[in-house]
């Protein structure tokens, strides 16, 4: 299989989809790996490291895409990358299509086979290719939010741990999954007063047991959200309905009940965000203010800590990359019921139901395509 690894071009995205370690695994099985010049630099991997692993370094981005069968990326393709896709390509990357109609249309028009990291499942009901980056983003959310609380950033001037004689700041996390738990752990470590809201009682039980009351757990209702906006200094949005657009849980009207200078960190922004006033931001300009409330909505948070993130991400993706390379996408997906839901778009059709529903499109069962 001819495999290409482009350099990521999203704003301040420094991750790379394959490490030299992964390249060695692939070339050792007889596959051809072509890596765009400098693709690994942001994550601390030099071109020479890939060459030692048997890969070729390709300076010409047109040639890189034209000669590839399987394209490995990190972030959803940007418009100039969508334009390079053809029906001969299999693309394996984060897609987050339910939040982006134009990207969905572009991928459909390309005719390519597009497999998303974030909709692959595991036997425990988890999302194993989203989880490592959710861990990173959850851990970063509180440091981003704490910085945003500083006066110079438009924040209220609250120091999350407080000081002796002054109460700590209050952090509410909506959605107690991987992002939410990791954000809550960081906030707890800083000494903040931490509450997690979730709709899953089973998940709240796990968190209650794990943190023994040091993190408060609350069933997520309209009343609980009203209480959160009135009391929190920071709210972290960490809700996910897999593959679907995120529900808007905090409306613009509710911002009026928040303390001025409080902070909303919408980690779920890549699926559309859970606050009505959220819009995607970049690492170059991560925050903006609406009605006195600071919003942080960076859609590729892990890109800022590219070394750790690349290692964490590629540990999880490599077995799937090897299966795609060894078997081809059809057999790799047919053989693995947890890999199959990764297929989002094939030959002009949407094959993931929640994405199709988000845009009123027809969806095709992926099982009918791979058999
Ligand atoms: N901005 C970024 O750079 C990154 C964003 N993410 C995003 O973060 C989001 C969360 O991901 P994970 O934590 O991995 O998902 P997860 O599936 O582990 O957790 C989601 C949680 O939300 C809960 N939930 C669903 N509906 C709810 C509601 N109405 N109210 C309260 N809780 C509700 C679920 O019960 C679940 O516990 C996803 O959209 C993911 O794509 C992940 C990594 C990086
Ligand atoms: C999950 C995701 O969107 C990211 O890691 O950038
Ligand atoms: Mg996006």
Place of tokens 């030692």: 52
**CA quadruple 46, 50, 56, 61: dihedral positive or negative?**
negative
Contact between residue 107 and residue 85 where contact means Cβ atoms under 8 Å apart: yes
CA of 265 to the centre of ligand 1 (A): 13
Cα distance between residue 101 and residue 180, in whole Å: 27
Which CATH number covers residue 95? 3.40.50.720
Task: State which of 117, 177, 208, 274 you would mutate to test the pocket of ligand 1, scoring each by most atoms of that ligand within 8 A of its C-beta.
Answer: 177
- Find out whether the beta carbon of 19 lies less than 6 Å from any atom of ligand 2: no
What separation in Å is there between the alpha carbon of 241 and the centre of ligand 1? 7
| Tokens describing residue 233 | 């200094």
pLDDT at 37: 98
| 284 and 137 in a common domain | yes
Are residue 289 and residue 330 in the same domain, yes or no?
no
Q: Using an 8 Å Cβ cutoff, are 6 and 64 in contact?
A: yes
Query: pTM for the full model?
Result: 0.95
Q: What's the average model confidence in pLDDT over 48-54? A: 98
* Mutational pocket test of ligand 2: of 12, 43, 100, 130, the residue with most ligand atoms within 8 Å of the beta carbon: 130
Within 10 A of 63 (CB to CB), how many other CB atoms are there?
13
pLDDT band for 222, please (50, 70, 90 cuts): very high
Tally of domains in the chain: 2
Same domain, 148 and 106: no
User: Do 27 and 138 have their domain in common?
Assistant: no
3-state helix/strand/coil string of 126-194 = CCCCCHHHHHHHHHHHHHHHHHHCCHHHCCCCCCCCCECCECCCEEEEECCCHHHHHHHHHHHHHCCEE
Instruction: Report the mean per-residue pLDDT for the chain.
Output: 97
Tell me which residue range forms the domain holding 184: 131-299
CA-nearest residue for atom 3, ligand 2, is: 300
**Rg of the Cα atoms in the chain:** 21
Q: What confidence score (pLDDT) does residue 371 get?
A: 82
Active-site residue set: 96, 270
φ, ψ (nearest 5 deg) of residue 73: -135, 175
277 lies in the same domain as 146: yes
83 CB-side CA count, 13 A: 5
Average pLDDT over residues 83-110: 97
pLDDT in tens, 286-309: 999 999 999 999 999 999 999 999
Is 24 a residue whose pLDDT tops 90?
Answer: yes
Asked which of 299, 318, 335 is the last residue of a domain, the reply is 299
229 vs 80: CA distance, rounded Å: 40
Which has the closest alpha carbon to 203: 215, 191, 192?
215
**Six-digit token string for 71:** 């394209």
Q: Separation of 110 CA from ligand 1 center, angstroms?
A: 29
Same domain? For 172 and 265 the reply is yes
First to last CA, the chain: 21
125 occurs within a structural domain: no
Report, as an integer, the average pLDDT of 343-361. Answer: 97
Residue 152 lies in a domain: yes
> Does the complex come out with an ipTM higher than 0.95?
yes
Confidence at residue 243, expressed as pLDDT on a 0 to 100 scale: 87
Kindly state whether residues 96 and 171 are assigned to the same domain. no
**Both 31 and 145 in a single domain?**
no
């Amino acid at each position: 299989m001819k495999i290409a690894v482009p350099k990521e071009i999203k704003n301040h995205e420094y991750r790379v989809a394959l490490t030299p370690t992964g390249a060695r695994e692939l070339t050792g099985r007889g596959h051809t790996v072509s890596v765009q010049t400098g693709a690994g630099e942001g994550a601390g991997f030099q071109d020479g490291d890939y060459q030692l692993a048997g890969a070729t370094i390709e300076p010409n981005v047109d040639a890189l895409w034209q000669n590839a069968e399987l394209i490995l990326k990190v972030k959803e393709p940007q418009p100039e990358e969508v334009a390079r896709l053809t029906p001969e390509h299999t693309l394996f990357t984060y897609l987050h299509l339910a939040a982006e109609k134009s990207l969905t249309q572009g991928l459909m028009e390309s005719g390519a086979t597009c497999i998303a990291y974030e909709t692959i499942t595991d036997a425990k009901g988890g999302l194993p290719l989203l989880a490592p980056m959710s861990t990173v983003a959850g851990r970063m959310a509180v440091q981003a939010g704490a910085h945003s609380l500083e006066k110079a950033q438009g924040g209220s001037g609250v120091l999350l741990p407080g000081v002796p004689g002054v109460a700590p700041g209050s952090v509410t996390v909506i959605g107690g999954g991987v992002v939410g738990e990791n954000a809550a752990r960081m906030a707890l470590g800083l000494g903040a007063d931490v509450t997690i809201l979730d709709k899953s009682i089973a998940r709240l039980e796990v968190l209650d047991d794990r943190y023994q009351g040091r993190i408060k757990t609350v069933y997520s209702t309209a009343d609980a959200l009203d209480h959160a906006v009135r009391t929190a200094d920071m709210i972290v949005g960490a809700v996910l309905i897999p593959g679907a657009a995120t529900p808007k849980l905090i409306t613009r009207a509710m911002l009026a009940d928040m303390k001025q200078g409080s902070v909303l960190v919408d980690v779920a922004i890549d699926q559309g965000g859970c606050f009505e006033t959220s819009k995607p931001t970049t690492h170059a300009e991560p925050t903006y203010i609406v009605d006195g409330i600071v919003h942080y909505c960076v859609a590729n948070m892990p890109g800022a800590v590219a070394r750790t993130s690349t290692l964490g991400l590629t540990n999880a993706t490599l077995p799937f990359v090897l299966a795609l390379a060894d078997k081809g996408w059809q057999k790799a997906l047919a053989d693995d019921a947890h890999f199959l839901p990764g297929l989002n778009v094939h030959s002009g059709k949407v094959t993931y139901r929640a994405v199709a529903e988000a845009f009123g499109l027809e969806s095709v069962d992926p099982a009918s395509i791979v058999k």
